[in-house]
Amino acid sequence: MTNRTMTRRDFGSKVITVSAAAAAASLAAPAVLGAAKARVVVIGGGAGGGTVARYVAKGSDDIAVTLINDSPTYSTCFFSNLYLGGFRSFESISHSYDTLAADYGIEVVIDRAAGLDGNGRTVTLANGDTLNYDKAVVAPGIDFKFDAIEGYGPDAVETMPHAWQAGAQAKNLKRQLLDMEDGGTFVICPPPNPFRCPPGPYERISMVAHYFKSYKPHSKIVVLDAKNKFSKQKLFEDGWARHFPDMIEWLPLDITGGVKAVDVASNTIITDDEKFQASVANVVPPQKAGQIAQDAGLADESGWCPIVPETLASLQVPNVHLVGDAIIPGDMPKSGFSANSQAKVCAQAILAELASKQAFKPRFRNTCWSLITTDDSIKVGANYEATEEKIAKIEGFVSQADESDEVRAQTAAEARAWYDAITADIFG
Amino acid sequence: MAALKGSVLRPFAVLLFVCQIEAQAEDLYAYGEYLSGECLTCHRLDESAGQIPAIFGWPEDKFVEILAMYKHGARENAAMRNVAASLGDEEMAALARYFASQTPKESAQ
Ligand SMILES: Cc1cc2nc3c(=O)[nH]c(=O)nc-3n(C[C@H](O)[C@H](O)[C@H](O)COP(=O)(O)OP(=O)(O)OC[C@H]3O[C@@H](n4cnc5c(N)ncnc54)[C@H](O)[C@@H]3O)c2cc1C
């Protein structure tokens, strides 16, 4: 066996000590030395925050973990497109925190975190309660730049849903698609980079096309993109041509000049020179880190949060870590897979500091599957490492255009298995 | 705020690669446990398998052999090949050690 022939040096090269950091943390966090347990408070119980909470809780009995989420159930954005396409029930993409509470001893608080004070190391809840922490993890996902498109403020989301946070928004869009007459026009406006889930809009287009093909075959899809190219573009375009000929019109930024305004009353989307009247409008506005991250001073002028790649520690506020869509992720895309991967690196850094656990060289990975139609799925993925300046890509792969139907069907089945695994990894 | 960069907020800047620790069984297991986190995004630790098989309970040498097949292209799945590409001999040995010791019952936790 390889391990028997391993020298100390070989193995040691994979291990890093955190003694200096742990010492610094003990000064900052007296709870570690005393009888009281160290306290970790996680804001946001999604792909990132749920995973951090679970991995910290299972990694040490000496840390009290509190997980704050603003809703008692979490519906995943991943596979929400499949819900729109009629492949998944809403229940099958919704998860509770019961197992995290019952089996991992995590204190689950259902409320909105209203503020975080980095100096006092406290989190204040909307109900007025205050929680102390030794380490806070902020994983709120995204919020929207509601000043970017004229007329598209918070009030517009009921009529023209973004459905870029799951739950009520996804249900809203689904209802509108169900109510639409055959022969209608679905207008979708994918956002500029960087945004949550780069292939997401194009998987959504595929899923809506799949639904139209079966139930509303005279309908059209118009895509008013804020970009000139997109993730897995050749593969999606090839799939659209094969499965949904003449249904989808993709208009890049260079052609339309981008979405400038919307008129909610008439369900109209306005570009430089044209107006698009939609039967169903799906406007996905430009994005930024979740509001709590902005309010707590964790985001920089880009609207996203800078981090230390090896630990996911904030570069702006001490004793705070960040994972998921809210961070500046270097070469990683904003995905549930990435958030889950970052969360494990973050959990190990916290366990090293608060519970003196061994820490190993950080490793990151992402894989994103996208469904084009029932049994035709494509995937893209890569490995990443922490360098001094960012999370940097090492090597990756992407599906090929000439793959057999059998391979595509296997990829679709693989995505379903992945969904089961990652949600078990997040929620226990 | 930028002044903080490089000081307290960069704990890993003061981290050293430890060479004095013994490469003992616990270390290998602990390393395998850490690495296993990245497998569990795709592989469930229970019997339900589907298109992504369960991977606990294999003999260690067999497990390493399979990982090497992905790494060297004898098995083709692109996602799993990308995973294997990132694994060296120590990583494979550590993962084999960790997963060999897992059973579905324990893993329900
Ligand atoms: C249509 C679509 C398809 C996608 N498909 C995929 C896919 O196939 N694969 C993939 O890997 N990713 C996919 N994604 C991306 C994935 O959903 C996100 O990248 C992921 O959810 C990010 O995780 P997070 O933890 O950063 O944020 P989230 O998962 O959004 O979790 C944040 C949580 O924090 C809560 N919260 C926010 N602020 C507060 C507060 N102040 N107090 C309390 N709670 C708060 C939120 O309500 C939420 O529950 C998709 C996204 C979309 C929109």
Tokens of A221: 């899809």
Across A406-413, average pLDDT: 97
- Chain B residues touching residue A417 (CB < 8 angstroms): 42, 44, 49-52
B27 interface with A at CB cutoff 8 Å: yes
Confidence check: pLDDT of A2 > 50: no
Confidence check: pLDDT of B4 > 70: no
Phi, psi of A307 (to 5 degrees): -135, 165
Confidence check: pLDDT of A6 > 60: no
| A252 neighbors A228 (Cβ within 8 angstroms) | yes
Confidence check: pLDDT of A22 > 60: no
pLDDT at B25: 78
Q: What is the mean pLDDT of chain A?
A: 93
Q: Which residues 73-92 of B have a C-beta within 8 angstroms of A?
A: 77-79, 81-83, 85-86, 89-92
pLDDT at B103: 84
Q: What is the CA radius of gyration of chain A?
A: 22
Residue B94: CATH number of its domain = 1.10.760.10
Angle between helices A233-243 and A200-215 (to 10 degrees): 0
Across A142-147, average pLDDT: 98
Q: For residue A203, which of A47, A85, A340 has the smallest C-alpha distance?
A: A85
Residue B88's domain comprises 2-100
Across B11-33, average pLDDT: 61
In a domain, B107, yes or no: no
Query: Tokens 């040995």 map to which residue?
Result: B93
Q: What confidence tens digit (pLDDT) does each residue in A147-189 have?
A: 999 999 999 999 999 999 989 999 999 999 999 999 999 999 9
Q: Which residues contact A179 (CB under 8 A, 6 or more apart)?
A: none
In a domain, B109, yes or no: no
The model's confidence at residue B50, banded by pLDDT at 50, 70 and 90, is confident
What domains are there in chain A, each with its CATH number?
5-143+288-359 (3.50.50.60), 151-285 (3.50.50.60)
The model's confidence at residue B10, banded by pLDDT at 50, 70 and 90, is very low
DSSP A66-131: EEEESSSEEE-STTHHHHHHTSS-TGGGEEESHHHHHHH--EEEES-EEEEETTTTEEEETTS-EE
pLDDT at A26: 44
Distance of CA A219 to the CA centre of its chain: 31
In a domain, B39, yes or no: yes
In a domain, B76, yes or no: yes
In a domain, B105, yes or no: no
Confidence check: pLDDT of B108 > 80: no
DSSP state of B67: H
| A37 neighbors A107 (Cβ within 8 angstroms) | no
Confidence check: pLDDT of B11 > 90: no
Q: What CA–CA distance (Å, rounded) separates A412 from A370?
A: 8
Q: What confidence tens digit (pLDDT) does each residue in A366-400 have?
A: 999 999 999 999 999 999 999 999 999 999 999 99
Across A328-352, average pLDDT: 98
Confidence check: pLDDT of A292 > 90: yes
Phi, psi of A96 (to 5 degrees): -105, 170
Helix, coil or strand: residue A359: strand
What is the 3-state composition of chain A as percent helix, strand, coil, each rounded to the nearest 5? 35, 25, 40
Q: Look at phi and psi of residue A160 and say left if phi exceeds 0, alpha if psi is from -120 to 50, else beta.
A: beta
Across A53-78, average pLDDT: 98
Q: What confidence tens digit (pLDDT) does each residue in A205-258 have?
A: 999 999 999 999 999 999 999 999 999 999 999 999 999 999 999 999 999 999
A254 C-alpha to ligand 1 centroid (Å): 30
Q: For ligand 1, atom 21, which residue shows the shortest CA distance?
A: A336
Identify which of A69, A123, A320 to mutate to test ligand 1's pocket (most ligand atoms within 8 A of the CB).
A69
Q: Count the domains in chain B.
A: 1
In a domain, B44, yes or no: yes
pLDDT at A33: 52
Across B1-13, average pLDDT: 38
- Whole-number percent of chain B with pLDDT over 70: 72
The closest CB to that of A8, out of B19, B94, B109, belongs to B19
Least confident of A130-134, A274-278, B16-20: B16-20
Which ligand 1 atom is the nearest neighbour of the CA of A334? 19
pLDDT at A166: 84
* Single-letter amino acid, residue A215: Y
Quick check: CB of A69 below 6 Å from ligand 1?
yes
Query: Tokens 């704050």 map to which residue?
Result: A68
Quick check: CB of A194 below 6 Å from ligand 1?
no
- Whole-number percent of chain A with pLDDT over 90: 91
In a domain, B108, yes or no: no
Q: Which residues contact A411 (CB under 8 A, 6 or more apart)?
A: A369, A377, A378, A379, A399
Least confident of A27-36, A98-107, A254-263: A27-36
Q: ipTM of this predicted complex?
A: 0.90
A 10 A CB-CB count for A388 gives: 11
